[in-house]
Amino acid sequence: MNINTTKVISLLFFIFSVFYLYTAYQIQVFAFDENAPFNARTFPIYLGYAGLFFSGLKLILPEPNNIKVDHKNLEYKKTVILIVIAIIYGATILKVGYFLTTSLFLFSSYYFLGERRWVLMFLLSFPFVAAFMYLLHGILDIYLRDPFLQSIGVMG
């Protein structure tokens, strides 16, 4: 059976709305607010019902233009690698510091996307990040936390 992915997404959204609505009803409000015309759970409850309404309609009504995505032509491998690199980048940026992690993130992303011009890859990672850091930290006065550069005395 050929399952329409848009309908599957709508079904997932419907289930999500049920969960959202259930959680909205669980929001603890102050006792004096319980029967007030509006409290912290009123708006989320309406939103939950709106989610059920629109996703329910999408499930029931016929699909006007059936979108077919050719999964064979999608570049899953590079996309997943890039996401993983971004997660590692996010995990290390605070502990290691902005300069080193960002430079390595850029360098490795260029590499995994197929780039092999090493000099250009280097120039567009380490010196580029240093220049960008100078722009943010030095000129625009936007604080950038960098334990690595602080440990070697480059940053105050």
* Residues 77-116, interacting with other proteins (CB under 8 A): 78-79, 82-83, 86-87, 89-91, 93-94, 98, 102, 105-106, 109-110, 113-115
Does position 152 bind other proteins by CB under 8 A? Answer: no
Return d(Cα 127, Cα 106) in angstroms, integer. Answer: 11
Does position 74 bind other proteins by CB under 8 A? Answer: yes
DSSP label of 144: -
CB atoms within 10 A of CB 82: 16
Does position 65 bind other proteins by CB under 8 A? Answer: yes
Does position 119 bind other proteins by CB under 8 A? Answer: no
Task: Choose which of 37, 72, 119, 153 interacts with other proteins (CB under 8 A).
Answer: 37
Type of residue at 116:
R
Closest-CA residue to 100 (of 29, 32, 152): 152
Does position 42 bind other proteins by CB under 8 A? Answer: yes
Task: Choose which of 15, 29, 152, 154 interacts with other proteins (CB under 8 A).
Answer: 29
Task: Choose which of 22, 75, 118, 131 interacts with other proteins (CB under 8 A).
Answer: 75
Return d(Cα 68, Cα 57) in angstroms, integer. Answer: 21
Does position 51 bind other proteins by CB under 8 A? Answer: yes
Quick one: tokens of 156?
């105050």
DSSP 84-112: HHHHHHHHHHHHH-HHHHHHHHHHHHHHH
Q: How far is the CB of 62 from other proteins (least distance, A)?
A: 4
Q: How far is the CB of 152 from other proteins (least distance, A)?
A: 20
Return d(Cα 52, Cα 64) in angstroms, integer. Answer: 20
